[in-house]
Chains A and B, each alone.
Chain A
Amino acid sequence: MTKETFLHDKHVALNAKMVDFAGWHMPVQYSSIIEEHKTVRENVGLFDVSHMGELIVSGPDACPYLNKLVPQDITKLVDRKAVYCQLTNKQAGIIDDLIIYKLEDEKYLVIANAARIGEDLNWMVRNERGFNVSISNESHNYSLLAIQGPKAIDLMAKMGVVNLPPFFTIKRGELCNVNLWISRTGYTGEDGVEILVKNEFSELLWDKILEYGKEFGIRPIGLGARDTLRLEAALHLYGNDLSEDTTPIEAGLSWSVSKTKIEDYNGKAVIEDQLKNGAQKKLIGLVMTDRAIARHGYDVFYNGEKVGVITSGGISPVNQTNIALAYVKSIPEIDIDSLIQVEIRGKLYNAKVVKRPFIKKNNKG
C-alpha cells in the first residue's frame, strides 16, 4: 500500500501533482519544476522529505558497530557532527548512502533513503552479532522538512532561530514553540537546514514556514525540482548513480572514505585495492554539446566504442545546458574536456566531460 506523509493533505490542497515514489505518494511538482528549481537557487524553497528513513543506533558499542558498516571513520565524529557515508557490503558495493549524526555518546541518528530502509535494516541486523547495540526504526514517528536556498538563513532568523549550527552539524532547537532537531544539511547545493520533527507538529510547521517565508519568495518544492537541483550540484541519487554494483571509489566518493581508519569495515579490502590500483569504472560529469538530452540508461561511446552508461541526465535550469552523470570505463583518455558521445534514439550526440558539480555550490560543503 502506498504510504502518505503527515503533510499529504497539504500537498493535495496546494494542487500538487502527486506520484508514487519509493512506496510513498509524494508531490512531484506544485507549479513548474523549472520555476521551483529557480526559487531554490534564488530565494528559498520548502520540501517535505518525510519519506526519508530515520534510524537510531544506540548502546555501548554503537560507535564501533557503525564503524564496521561504513568506510568513514565514525570514531572521529564529535557530538552533534554529521558525516555523509555509504553502507557497504563485503564487496564494497553500496547498499545505501547515509548521513550519520552523532547525537551524543552511544547514540547516533542515521538518515536513509526511503526505498532502502528495509535493505539497510536487514544488513544492519545481520552485522549486529558481537556488538552491544540497539537499532530502532523511528521513520514512522518523524517528519523531515528541508528549507533550502540563499534566503533560508534569513527566514530562520525571522522565525527566531539565529544560532544555526555550522555545516553538517545538528542541534536541538525550537520553532513556533515546537521542540525539534535542526541540521545544516540538504540535497540542493544551497545553504539551508533540514528540520526533524515529531509527525504531530509537521502541519503546523509547514504552514508557518510558508507564511513567514512569503516575504522571502518561498515556494513549496516537489521531487521533480529536488532531482534537477541535486543533479546540478552533482549529488548522487541512490538507484540511479549508486547501487550494490558500485563502490564509493568508482562513484567518485573517495573523499568520503577514511584513508587512515585502522579498524576493519565491510568492503575495506576492495576499497583499499581500488584506492591503490584504481577501479574498472569511474563516474564522470557531462555537458551535451549537441542539442539533445541524455537520460538514465543511455549508452556512452568513446572513439566508436561503447564505454559506459548514463546514470542521471536532464537539464540544468541555471546554466541552460543539458547535463548528465555517467559511468565509463576507467581509461586515462577519458578526462576533463574529452569529447564523448551519447546514443539517443539510435543516433550519437556529442558531449564534453566536465568537472563536477555543474554549478558553483553555495553551501560550506
Chain B
Amino acid sequence: MSDNMLCSKSHEYVSGENGKYTIGLTDYAVEQLGDIVFIELPEVGSQFTKSEVFATVESVKAASEIYMPISGTVVEINEAIVEKPELLNDDPHGAGWLIKVDSDADDTEFADLLEYSDYKDEVE
C-alpha cells in the first residue's frame, strides 16, 4: 500500500485513486504516540475540508486531533479499530486505516502532500 501513498506533514496518509481514498495515520505517527487506547471517528456521511479535524486518537498519555489530508465525504469508517484501538499500533497502513472518503480534491489539494519516502526523510 505504501507505493501510492501520500503523507501530510501532520502525519496522516491518503491512498487510493479516482476520487476513492483511504485515510489513516502514518506508522511514524503511531510509533510516536505509543499504545493507542481510544479512537473517535466521524459519522458516515460527514463532510470535511482539507486540514479540518475529523478524528481523535488517544494514546496512554494524551489525546491527538487528526486532520484531513484532503477534503472529502466519509463513506466508511473502520469500526474494528474503535473496538480494538491496538489494531492501529499493529498495522497502521493496513488493518489500522481510519476512514474511507469520496473526494473531488484536485491537484492543488495534493500539492503539499509528500511521497512516503520523502515524508520518512523529513520526519526521521
Contacts and interface: CB of A to CB of B under 8 A. Distances in A.
Contact of A315 (B34, B40, B56, B60): B60
A293 B35 contact: no
B5 interface: no
Contacts of B60: 33-34, 224, 228, 314-315
Given A33-B61, A295-B62, A295-B63, A345 B56 contact: yes
A32 B34 contact: yes
Interface in B29-53: 34-35, 37-38, 40
A57 B58 CA distance: 44
A34 B36 CA distance: 10
B30 to A, nearest CB: 12
Contact of A224 (B34, B38, B40, B63): B34
Interface residues of B, number: 11
Interface string A12-47: 000001000000000011001110000000000000
B38 A293 contact: yes
B37 A293 contact: yes
Contacts of A33: 34-35, 60-61
Contacts of B34: 17, 29, 32-33, 224
B61 A293 contact: no
A34 B38 contact: no
Nearest to A315: B37
A228 B59 CA distance: 12
Contacts of A17: 34
A292 interface: yes
A292 B63 CA distance: 11
Nearest to A317: B60
A224 B59 CA distance: 11
Interface in A269-323: 291-293, 295, 314-315, 322
Interface in B41-81: 56, 58, 60-63
B102 to A, nearest CB: 25
A2 B34 CA distance: 23
Contact of B61 (A224, A291, A322): A224
B37 A32 contact: no
A292 B56 CA distance: 11
Contacts of A227: 61
A317 to B, nearest CB: 8
Most chain-B CB neighbours within 10 Å: which of A17, A29, A315?
Answer: A315
Contacts of A291: 38
Contacts of A315: 37, 60
A28 B62 CA distance: 13
Contacts of A345: 40, 56, 63
A322 B63 CA distance: 13
A292 B35 contact: no
Contacts of B40: 345
Nearest to A291: B38
A139 to B, nearest CB: 26
Contacts of B62: 295
Nearest to A29: B34
Given A32-B34, A293-B37, A314-B61, 12 more contacts: A17-B34, A28-B61, A29-B34, A32-B35, A33-B34, A34-B60, A224-B61, A227-B61, A292-B38, A293-B58, A314-B60, A315-B37
23 contacts: A17-B34, A28-B61, A32-B34, A32-B35, A33-B34, A33-B35, A33-B60, A33-B61, A34-B35, A34-B37, A34-B60, A224-B34, A224-B61, A227-B61, A291-B38, A293-B38, A293-B58, A293-B63, A295-B63, A314-B60, A322-B38, A345-B40, A345-B56
Interface of A: 17, 28-29, 32-34, 224, 227-228, 291-293, 295, 314-315, 322, 345
